[in-house]
Amino acid sequence: MHYKDLFIDLDDTIYDTYNNANVALKETFGEFHLERYFPDSETFYDAYWTTNIDLWSRYAKGEITRDYLIVERFRRPLSTGIGLRVTPQLCLDISNAFLDNCSTKSAVVPGAHELMDYLREKGYRMHLCSNGFHEIQYKKLSASGLRDYFDTVILSEDAGANKPSSLFFDYALTTSGANPEQTLMIGDNIQTDIKGALNAGIDALLFNRWGTDLSESTVTPTYVVNALGEIQNIL
């Protein structure tokens, strides 16, 4: 298949969101002296990630709002602290500090810049497709040096719908001017990136960064790679 346009996810596909967020989380933990309320920092981090994964999954399905996610992802882990009075304002203050810390982090997934340079040299039109928050995603793109690779930046807040919704992909196709039959979606999330693209008639490449067992999955990606460098063998 000869592709002309590439839809590329940002978080944990090319931008190292997980590790960047862990650094930002430790910084935020220290800024608010949360060690006073938790036996150790790992207890808080584990509670945060469990909550965050759940909430982003629900957000992608349109079950919760952005505002709810922002407060709730800190309310739950903070509520496990001992002697800490958890208020919506405290959750908001911690969230704002965390997002500010996140947006300055520059680490990318190994091989990201090399892949993007390769794809640009091959002449592909590249479009960022992300469910992330508008102002934060632009800061991440700037901090990581990824912004200039993209012809268009397509965010769920602009689309009015999240991946995997067909509304998101319809918006992405319209905004980019791409033909679905000549477009490939590249992402790390089999539900939002891969299932969403396939349902919209777009081929999809899964970057299986987390080593997910696909043998029982109801979703069959067009391609699967375990490292970004392997994409050069396909495109």
In this structure, are residues 112 and 14 in contact, taking their beta carbons and an 8 Å threshold? yes
Sign of CA dihedral 131, 175, 5, 112: negative
Backbone φ, ψ for residue 115 (5° rounding):
-65, -45
3-state secondary structure of 23: helix
pLDDT tens digits, residue range 189-231? 999 999 999 999 999 999 999 998 999 899 999 999 999 999 9
pLDDT reported for residue 46: 94
Is the pLDDT at 1 greater than 70? The verdict is no
Query: What's the farthest any 2 CA atoms get from each other in the chain?
Result: 60
- The domain ranges of the chain are 5-16+108-233, 17-103
Percentage of the residues of the chain whose pLDDT score is greater than 90: 93
pLDDT tens digits, residue range 142-191? 999 999 999 999 999 999 999 999 999 999 999 999 999 999 999 999 99
Say yes or no: do domains 5-16+108-233 and 17-103 share a fold: no
CATH topology of domain 17-103: DNA polymerase; domain 1 (1.10.150)
Beta strands in the chain (DSSP E): 5-8, 125-130, 152-155, 183-187, 203-207, 223-225
Q: What DSSP letter does each residue of 29-89 carry, written as one string?
A: HHHTTGGGTSS-HHHHHHHHHHHHHHHHHHHHTTSS-HHHHHHHHHHHHHTTSSS----HH
Contacts for 67 with CB less than 8 Å, ≥ 6 apart: none
What CATH number is given for 5-16+108-233 in this structure? 3.40.50.1000
Query: Judging by beta carbons within 10 Å of its beta carbon (0-12, 13-18, 19+), is residue 129 exposed, middle or buried?
Result: buried
